[in-house]
């Protein structure tokens, strides 16, 4: 039977919901509904669908978006395009099962919905659908395939992003089959010669092309030994703004600038104009409706490697001149700038203290408001001509869904996971604030086990986020919910190095990894113990990427944890130089290893590996060039030699993120088994 506290909470919920017209259940019915719900399981991962890329139609009546599903039986993921009326009604699948589709875009007249797809085992091309129905028609036949695209304002052209073709792309099918049997060696001559998910880099570059829909002719509008990206048409369709690093040695720095090129040039972009003059990244250009200004993201601090620096919202005249920093007084990251339809304001996604909001900067007085704020995370959006916005939003108990923001009201448009969520009893999330060892304020989140009682101490897992510049936020966390459903108190903190709290909060770990961030995450565990939530004798720790890196520091500096999971981590940094993709970052932050070897060794967890006593599960992808499996192998070999209980799990053909559904299932099953055995003590 439900406790008196549960009855009171359910009564209050039912009364509140009845008053506002949300549900019409009696208290007994609500109690029965709560009792019938079940805990989240590993296999629910394959029932959860991922919504993305919301796109409002030009007249604002329809919403197109993507839905990605993992199919365990076929061991693959598939993305389809869906459409739903903004006024309400059933969602309609626009692409069929059997081939993934992405990047839905409306034609300027709203009559057609285009997308990218590699159907019939071919290269990725642009396809289009009549909104009223019918079969999709292929628009492009590009031998190397299309990276991305955008409609011209008048609907007569497509702006294509294409990588230079491989020699075999230009050969006949018979020749291609023969070449596959006889692989060629990789010939490397670039400074940046590796990238995760790509492998060894060659000199094939990414450039921009204008594709005429009437005669199918294509004009190359940029060229050179540079990569061009993020192109956007000017409102009149005469020019294109794009992002490129065109310094003398692009591989040696992180600078990007915004450039302007004529959409009708005949010299392959040899005649173009550099708009921004910053030596740090400028990106994500957006034209004003009158074509006179461009809003963009910028980094203005050159003291640190830009990864650690705040990204500001800026605006610059198209004719050139001094940029205006629109968020200069706000030390928070922004992304995805867009001008309002009337040109009087600029919108952007604003990251702030464990949340992400839709922000609006009024250009007349610089006032910043937040049309969509609160305990939620906005990830992407598109603007309607009437000032409305379709936003991808996630909340603690809601995986990402699309909402409509209009006239100060927020209305949910998609309900992709509603059926599954109605079956689940989810963990309560508590937003926490505490002091670190040196008095610094730290924020975090605690997920409580189902049926949580303040009178009982629970086995607790410290989970550490990747990055390090990133943050845990108030979005739905499958991983935290799974651990909480399995009886664990889950502690998730935003230690120094995290974003969302300003640059001064991020940079203390610059060239000093595993120090202040270690103190911060340990303070989060102490907070949970002091509150009476966590059992100090049953503590676990783990994370992926930088979460794995910091886990390595935790187990070398503390013997408090009974079980650890180190995923896709780094361990002995000097071994990574020239082996992973981060040579620019390493050199900027740590110096050259043959000149500053002491710094490289000082921050490597390898230095203290002999202190480890914690049973540690080590995991990673075979083809990860972000945090190569070399690190996991070295950690495993060290612990094995020291006699520490350990196991190494390597996922074949996987990169930094594990994507194959059966491997994802295996990964979470191993998480639970390892923590159950060594933290809970289950035999």
Q: Quick: pLDDT tens for 519-554.
A: 999 999 999 999 999 999 999 999 999 999 999 999
Query: In which element (H, E) is residue 670 found?
Result: helix 661-675
Which tokens hold the place of 623?
């083809």
Q: Could you give the CA distance from residue 550 to residue 569 in angstroms, rounded to a whole number?
A: 8
Q: How far is residue 269's CA from residue 208's CA, in Å, rounded to a whole number? A: 9
Rounded Cα distance between 214 and 192, Å, is 40
CATH topology of domain 427-680: Rossmann fold (3.40.50)
Q: Tokens for 438? A: 């040196």
**pLDDT tens, 94-134?**
999 988 999 999 999 999 999 999 987 789 999 999 987 77
Predicted confidence band of residue 6 (pLDDT cuts 50, 70, 90): very low
Q: Which of 167-171, 389-393, 535-539, 578-582 has the lowest mean pLDDT?
A: 167-171
Closest by CA to 64, choosing from 96, 112, 135, is 112
CB of 343 closer than 8 Å to CB of 324: no
- Say yes or no to pLDDT of 164 above 60: yes
467-501 pLDDT, tens digit per residue, is 999 999 999 999 999 999 999 999 999 999 999 99
d(CA 385, CA 388): 7
Distance CA 551, CA 522 (A): 11
Q: What does the alpha-carbon distance between residue 355 and residue 469 come to, in Å, rounded to a whole number?
A: 15
Calpha distance 474→311 (Å, rounded): 21
How far is it, in rounded angstroms, from Cα 345 to Cα 368? Answer: 9
Residue 13: count of CB within 10 angstroms of its CB: 16
Per-residue pLDDT at 23 exceeds 60: no
- In the predicted model, is pLDDT for residue 174 greater than 80? no
Contact 216, 193 (CB under 8 A): no
**Is the Cβ–Cβ distance between 463 and 480 less than 8 Å?**
yes
Q: Which of 130-134, 275-279, 662-666 has the lowest mean pLDDT?
A: 130-134
Distance of CA 596 to the CA centre of its chain: 33
CB 542 within 8 A of CB 536: no
Confidence of residue 333 (pLDDT cuts 50, 70, 90): very high
Domain boundaries, the chain: 4-36, 427-680
Helix locations, 320-437, DSSP H: 418-423
* 409 burial level (CB within 10 Å; 0-12, 13-18, 19+): exposed
| 502-514 average pLDDT score | 95
Whether 281 and 254 have beta carbons less than 8 Å apart is answered as yes
Q: Considering the chain, what is the average pLDDT of its residues? A: 92
Tokens of 332: 């928070």
pLDDT by residue (tens digit) across 299-332?
Answer: 999 888 888 999 999 999 999 999 999 999 999 9
What average pLDDT does range 632-654 have in this prediction? 98
pLDDT tier, 177 (very low <50, low <70, confident <90, very high otherwise): low
CA 672 to each of CA 127, 345, 455, 494, 618: distance values in angstroms, whole numbers, following the listed order: 43, 48, 24, 23, 14
Position 26 scores a pLDDT of 37
Bridge pairing between strands 563-567 and 50-56: unpaired
Look at 29 and 44; give whichever has higher pLDDT: 44
Long-range contacts of 402-410 (CB under 8 A, 24+ apart): 402/51, 402/54, 402/63, 402/65, 403/372, 404/63, 404/86, 405/358, 405/371, 405/372, 408/371, 410/372
To which residue do tokens 């809970």 refer?
A: 680
The confidence band for 262, taking pLDDT boundaries of 50, 70 and 90, is: very high
Phi-psi region at 671: left, alpha or beta (left = phi > 0; alpha = psi -120 to 50): alpha
Residue 27's alpha-carbon distances to 2, 6, 32, 496, in angstroms, are 12, 11, 9, 45
- Do 500 and 382 touch, CB atoms closer than 8 A? no
Q: Which segments of 272-364 are extended strands (E)? A: 272-274, 282-287, 293-298, 312-317, 324-325, 334-339, 345-352, 355-362
Q: Would you say residue 179 has pLDDT above 80?
A: no
Tokens encoding 162: 């294409």
Asked if residue 268 has pLDDT above 90, the reply is no
CA 227 to CA 264: how far, in whole Å?
Answer: 20
Q: What is the pLDDT of residues 391-447, one digit of tens each?
A: 999 999 999 999 999 988 999 999 999 999 999 999 999 999 999 999 999 999 999
| Model confidence pLDDT, tens digit, residues 213-250 | 999 999 999 999 999 999 999 999 999 999 999 999 99
């Amino acid at each position: 039977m439900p406790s008196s506290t549960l009855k009171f909470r359910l009564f209050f919920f039912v009364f509140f919901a009845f008053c506002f017209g949300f549900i019409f259940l009696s208290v007994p019915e609500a109690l029965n509904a709560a009792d019938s719900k079940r805990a989240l399981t590993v296999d629910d991962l394959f029932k959860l669908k991922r919504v993305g890329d919301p796109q409002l139609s030009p007249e604002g009546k329809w919403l197109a978006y993507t839905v990605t599903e993992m199919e365990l039986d076929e061991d693959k993921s598939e993305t389809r395009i869906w459409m739903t009326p903004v006024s309400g009604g059933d969602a309609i699948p626009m692409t069929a099962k059997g081939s993934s589709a992405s990047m839905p875009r409306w034609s300027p007249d709203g009559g057609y919905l285009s997308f990218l797809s590699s159907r019939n085992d071919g290269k990725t091309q642009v396809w289009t659908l009549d909104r009223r129905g019918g079969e999709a028609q292929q628009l492009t036949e590009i031998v190397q395939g299309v990276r991305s695209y955008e409609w011209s304002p008048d609907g007569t052209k497509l702006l294509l992003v294409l990588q230079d073709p491989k020699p075999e792309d230009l050969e006949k099918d018979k020749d291609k089959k023969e070449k596959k049997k006889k692989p060629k060696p990789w010939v490397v001559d670039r400074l940046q010669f590796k990238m995760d998910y790509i492998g060894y880099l060659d000199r094939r570059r990414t450039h921009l092309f204008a594709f005429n829909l009437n005669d199918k002719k294509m004009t190359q509008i940029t060229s050179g030994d540079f990569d061009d990206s993020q192109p956007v048409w000017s409102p009149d369709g005469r020019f294109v703004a794009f992002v490129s690093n065109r310094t003398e040695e692009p591989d040696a720095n992180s600078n990007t600038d915004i450039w302007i090129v004529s959409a009708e040039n005949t010299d392959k972009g040899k005649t173009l104009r550099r708009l921004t003059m910053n030596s740090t990244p400028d990106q994500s250009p957006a034209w004003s409706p009158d074509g006179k200004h461009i809003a963009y993201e910028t980094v203005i601090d050159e003291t640190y490697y830009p990864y650690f620096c705040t990204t500001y919202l800026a605006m610059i005249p198209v004719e050139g001149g001094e940029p205006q920093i629109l968020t200069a007084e706000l030390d928070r990251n922004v992304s995805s700038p867009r001008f309002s339809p009337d040109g009087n304001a600029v919108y952007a996604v604003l990251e702030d203290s464990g949340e992400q909001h839709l922000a609006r900067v009024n250009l007349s007085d610089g006032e910043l408001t937040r049309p969509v704020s609160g305990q939620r995370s906005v990830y992407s959006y598109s603007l309607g001509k009437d000032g409305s916005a379709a936003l991808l939003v996630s909340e603690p108990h809601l995986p990402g869904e699309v909402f409509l923001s209009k006239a100060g009201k927020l209305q949910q448009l998609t309900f992709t996971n509603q059926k599954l969520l109605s079956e689940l009893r989810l963990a309560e999330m508590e937003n926490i604030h505490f002091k670190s060892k040196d008095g610094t304020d730290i924020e975090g989140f605690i997920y409580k086990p189902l049926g949580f009682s303040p009178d009982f101490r629970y086995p607790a897992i410290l989970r550490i986020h990747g990055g390090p510049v990133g943050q845990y936020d108030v979005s739905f966390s499958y991983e935290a919910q799974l651990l909480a459903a399995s009886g664990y108190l889950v502690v998730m903190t935003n230690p120094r190095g995290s974003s969302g709290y300003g640059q001064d909060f991020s940079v203390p770990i610059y060239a000093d990894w595993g120090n202040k961030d270690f103190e911060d995450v340990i303070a989060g565990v102490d907070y949970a113990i002091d509150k009476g939530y966590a059992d100090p004798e049953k503590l676990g720790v783990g994370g992926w990427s930088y979460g794995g890196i910091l886990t390595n520091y935790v187990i070398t500096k503390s013997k408090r944890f009974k079980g650890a999971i180190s995923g896709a981590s780094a361990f002995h940094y000097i071994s990574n130089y020239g082996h992973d993709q981060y040579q620019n970052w390493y050199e900027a932050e740590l110096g050259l290893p043959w000149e500053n070897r002491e710094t490289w060794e000082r921050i490597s967890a390898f230095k203290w590996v002999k202190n480890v006593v914690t049973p540690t599960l080590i995991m990673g992808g075979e083809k990860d060039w972000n945090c190569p499996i070399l690190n996991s192998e070295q950690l495993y070999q060290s612990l094995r030699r020291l006699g520490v209980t350990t196991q190494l799990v390597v996922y074949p053909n996987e990169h930094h993120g594990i994507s194959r559904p059966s491997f994802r299932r295996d990964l979470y099953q191993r998480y639970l088994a390892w923590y159950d055995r060594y933290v809970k003590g289950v035999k």
